[in-house]
Structure 1
């Protein structure tokens, strides 16, 4: 068979059922056998970036490898953003790109680009196939690399003449990756040391990252947390790994995290970090982050351990195996009982009572965006898949959707990619066709990739889009309000009262049902109507106030001890670094902040 036929056959043998792509000259030989395949479904996107994000969305909800295809030159370079996105969020993806023929390499031929060189820093691995006989082995190795160890994107570049060349197809190939042997089983000595530290802790916290979801370890996490009684914080990428409704769930930590989660980490004497990388959006100022906490850090990637914070107990291994080993060792160890942390839990429960999630109603008569997302969560429920782009709408979704299950929350966490939501939601729907999928998007993000709604309409992916339309680049505007004296430089997307673009007309032109909502009483009926339509995508254009802000908040680079519950409320330590070194002082600071907080009943009603 030809090299192109071998690519298709290899994808079929590896269990691939869907690929997202866009044809072009250098990849055209591959598209001919795709036409005849009865096992592979090809989704024709309108932009290669959409193919990459759709592959990512598919991978995140299924745990399988997402596959995208692009031609050489601009087709391949349009995959750079989704590759970087998948790399930072550890998503298993394989990108197959066409390349000019080997005889033209290095001649600046039409649509030639060194995509290997371009993407080397943002992929787990990449390579060019220079021998047609190596095609099955190369793609099989790419899949193995993408999904094993710490997941990530892999790019395979295939010159056009290699696609046209003939070979004798042999399956299965022998995977040979010298030096690549990810450690999945944790060392028993480190596990024993961790158990000893946990037993001695008075204020322990389970600091859970997205690696727990990647490892399908949510069951093990729940069992370990309930056995030990240790409170849990889940990062932006780990929402759903531990049920929102569970009393031990303190919420999301970091820049826009909950007061209980941030307070727990700042006062903790032991952080049990699993599948997380101590991201700057969580730690803030590292020097003042969890100042009294010893660290147990477990991760599949040894490069992450000790990179940001010194670690007392490093554990290299798969998150599910680590949690299982911790629970097994804990139960079997003599003279070790679950830690006596009753006062610690009482303190955190008190924080949850004093600082519930809430928001102020808009004073300009507009709909509160938080109300929209809270209503969506209540109506659509925890079985729905929610996909967000980046910005205010992303943070509000993280705060006001009640995530009870893993793989129901997709967002661009590490790279913060505007335009991620719509194509990723399409990929999620492709991976879980029987599950309702909502893209929660901002009007800025939506304008970057909304053309993929046509793909969704034509290909039969009836996703729903909740468009939080405040006429601005909302998060940038919030920072300009707080830190740039209200100088709104280039953040306004339309004039007040105008609909430019008209997202209802645009969405209808792209093949969707579209609804505009301007009154709070119409929010729930619009959501219900969207849920009843399942033969095409639905876009709801929610017109919300431009001055709504995301709270709580920690300023970039500031100490987590300076978290502010709402605008105008003093932070816990009021920026006093000397006080920040004394975690016990948080009690007094919490009392003072609580006195300034809105009445709790009013807050909950809002």
Structure 2
């Protein structure tokens, strides 16, 4: 059976075949056939945004929270498409399955310096897993199938599909759309039994073992498998940076996030471990800065990764295992049915648990609860007031970097950050996407005043579509990380470091959202509680001490003698 459809109608039919729930995007004349077809697509909710970049962050947040592809549609070629680049670069760094669609110049106008002409195929190739430009209308369903398959195949990541105007307008007799299961992989690789046996022996005889749980555990909801193995070994589990929610905060073997930006307990464990089982982590920049300053040079590393090129890339390994991380963890637990002598390892774990308990107590005791509001006091208040089922999104910047391991993530998949891309202006838009994926969950987005100023126009998107998140603006009136570097390494020669902003609580109200101002730390908890209960998108503008600056990357300025 066939149907006479335009290329634009076929594109929407392809999205429907993929069970697409949301399309985030900005209308444009280059894709009018798609938007007209969306008008009749009752199963797809279109969320119109104010900027293609933030629309991509919404699709990114939706993809990470749901586990399905997030879809963004830039309606205009040229500038509409170029605005996608930052968001796709962000999704690429996070291995987030975003399917990005953009209108493209009519095929007959290419290479003629036409209106809004840009080489979109070349533009997107470096920041996606793959980029296609549809050559003809009859190829549209095929390319949509390939786009979704590529985005969702490990390691996942964003893809770009450019659709020329003439392709979208052409009428073609299309066959019925196929089910996605007809062209998708249905399994993941397991570890070879010999590797499992060798790894089990190393773990069983280790006196100071540690498990590092990364995105390969978090993104697969593999925490049960990882913790079953950890419980059998009575072994501490640290999480890679940005994945502090890979296992529940309350588990007694959870040490928190490791690395140069992690907490001292988790970081010490990795520096002293004799056997390290890296489950679904690259041991990359944020975890190690690529140096043995952050991981024991003498440790035997067993690295389990679904992406084979990641194995042993930054540190030599004792065993490199190409496998899905939860699958390998389950195999290891089955192989470790009896462990003869655990006295040394049990003492190692017991000492860590006492140190972790003392660290958490000291973290609360050290929180400065006086005026003006200090980051430590704000984070303690957030620990006390945020619901345990909250999803938390963060920006880059010094305040959010401090917050990443200062908050408690009780439920796996509760922390959404820019990860290695270090993007400012991500959190609020990402939170809107997370809320679309998980509407019954409270979503709290932490941002600095600079980052929120970049993206606050999406307040109208939140209001128009009833996407009720709470954004906490940590307002210190500066670009905090850069100002700290200018203070510490450039003799306080400040330039471009200070930010002026309107009262964000009032701005929120002008958009039709709820706004709250927290001038003092005592104002924060009631403001957040009210924001969570207001039934609208909400912004809490928190005044934070501008002098509370912290230089995170001191290593970057060693050449200055600081």
TM normalised by structure 2 equals 0.92
Instruction: Please give the alpha-carbon distance, in whole angstroms, between the structure 1 residues aligned to 2:291 and 2:498.
Output: 34
The 1:355/1:175 distance shift into structure 2, 3 A limit, reads closer
Task: Please state whether the residue corresponding to 2:336 is helix, strand or coil.
Answer: helix
Q: How many residues align?
A: 551
Q: Summarize the alignment of residues 204-215 of structure 1 with structure 2, pairs less than 5 Å apart.
A: 204-215=209-220
Please point out which of 288, 303, 314 is paired with 1:308.
314
The 1:501/1:431 distance shift into structure 2, 3 A limit, reads same
Instruction: Please give the alpha-carbon distance, in whole angstroms, between the structure 2 residues aligned to 1:421 and 1:432.
Output: 16
- For each residue in 1:500-554, what CA deviation from the matched residue of structure 2 results, as whole angstroms up to 9, or x when unmatched? 32222322222211111112222211111111101x2111110010122459x67
Instruction: Please give the alpha-carbon distance, in whole angstroms, between the structure 2 residues aligned to 1:485 and 1:359.
Output: 33
1:386 aligns with 2:392: yes
Q: Summarize the alignment of residues 229-308 of structure 1 with structure 2, pairs less than 5 Å apart.
A: 229-284=234-289, 286-288=291-293, 289-308=295-314
- For each residue in 1:351-409, what CA deviation from the matched residue of structure 2 results, as whole angstroms up to 9, or x when unmatched? 33554435756698311233223323322222011111111232233222210111211
CA deviation after TM superposition for structure 1 residue 2, in Å: 0.8
Native 8 Å contact 1:274 1:298 kept in 2 = yes
Instruction: Please give the alpha-carbon distance, in whole angstroms, between the structure 1 residues aligned to 2:111 and 2:186.
Output: 34
Task: Please state whether the residue corresponding to 2:159 is helix, strand or coil.
Answer: strand
The 1:335/1:528 distance shift into structure 2, 3 A limit, reads closer
Native 8 Å contact 2:371 2:521 kept in 1 = no
Report the equivalent of 1:152: 157
Report the equivalent of 1:517: 518
Instruction: Please give the alpha-carbon distance, in whole angstroms, between the structure 2 residues aligned to 1:336 and 1:116.
Output: 59
Q: Summarize the alignment of residues 113-512 of structure 1 with structure 2, pairs less than 5 Å apart.
A: 113-173=118-178, 184-284=189-289, 286-288=291-293, 289-331=295-337, 340-353=344-357, 355-356=359-360, 357-358=363-364, 365-494=371-500, 500-512=501-513
Task: Give ranges in structure 2 of 5+ residues lacking alignment.
Answer: none
Task: Please state whether the residue corresponding to 2:198 is helix, strand or coil.
Answer: helix
CA deviation after TM superposition for structure 1 residue 6, in Å: 0.6
The 1:319/1:448 distance shift into structure 2, 3 A limit, reads same
- For each residue in 1:297-319, what CA deviation from the matched residue of structure 2 results, as whole angstroms up to 9, or x when unmatched? 11111111111011111111212
The 1:340/1:375 distance shift into structure 2, 3 A limit, reads same
Instruction: Please give the alpha-carbon distance, in whole angstroms, between the structure 1 residues aligned to 2:484 and 2:140.
Output: 50
Instruction: Please give the alpha-carbon distance, in whole angstroms, between the structure 2 residues aligned to 1:3 and 1:154.
Output: 19
Instruction: Please give the alpha-carbon distance, in whole angstroms, between the structure 2 residues aligned to 1:176 and 1:41.
Output: 23
Report the equivalent of 2:530: 529
Task: Please state whether the residue corresponding to 1:94 is helix, strand or coil.
Answer: strand
CA deviation after TM superposition for structure 1 residue 350, in Å: 4.5
Task: Please state whether the residue corresponding to 2:172 is helix, strand or coil.
Answer: coil
Instruction: Please give the alpha-carbon distance, in whole angstroms, between the structure 1 residues aligned to 2:113 and 2:538.
Output: 44
Task: Please state whether the residue corresponding to 1:386 is helix, strand or coil.
Answer: strand
CA deviation after TM superposition for structure 1 residue 175, in Å: 8.6
Native 8 Å contact 2:241 2:261 kept in 1 = no
Task: Please state whether the residue corresponding to 2:419 is helix, strand or coil.
Answer: coil
Native 8 Å contact 2:503 2:541 kept in 1 = no
Instruction: Please give the alpha-carbon distance, in whole angstroms, between the structure 2 residues aligned to 1:327 and 1:380.
Output: 34
Instruction: Please give the alpha-carbon distance, in whole angstroms, between the structure 2 residues aligned to 1:327 and 1:400.
Output: 31
The 1:251/1:41 distance shift into structure 2, 3 A limit, reads same
Task: Please state whether the residue corresponding to 1:546 is helix, strand or coil.
Answer: coil
CA deviation after TM superposition for structure 1 residue 52, in Å: 0.1
The 1:34/1:337 distance shift into structure 2, 3 A limit, reads farther
- For each residue in 1:437-485, what CA deviation from the matched residue of structure 2 results, as whole angstroms up to 9, or x when unmatched? 1111110111111111110011111111111001111122233333333
Instruction: Please give the alpha-carbon distance, in whole angstroms, between the structure 2 residues aligned to 1:335 and 1:346.
Output: 17
Instruction: Please give the alpha-carbon distance, in whole angstroms, between the structure 1 residues aligned to 2:408 and 2:168.
Output: 48
The 1:16/1:177 distance shift into structure 2, 3 A limit, reads closer
RMSD between aligned residues: 2.6
Task: Please state whether the residue corresponding to 1:67 is helix, strand or coil.
Answer: strand
Report the equivalent of 1:35: 39
Task: Give ranges in structure 1 of 5+ residues lacking alignment.
Answer: 495-499, 560-574, 576-606
Instruction: Please give the alpha-carbon distance, in whole angstroms, between the structure 2 residues aligned to 1:414 and 1:285.
Output: 13
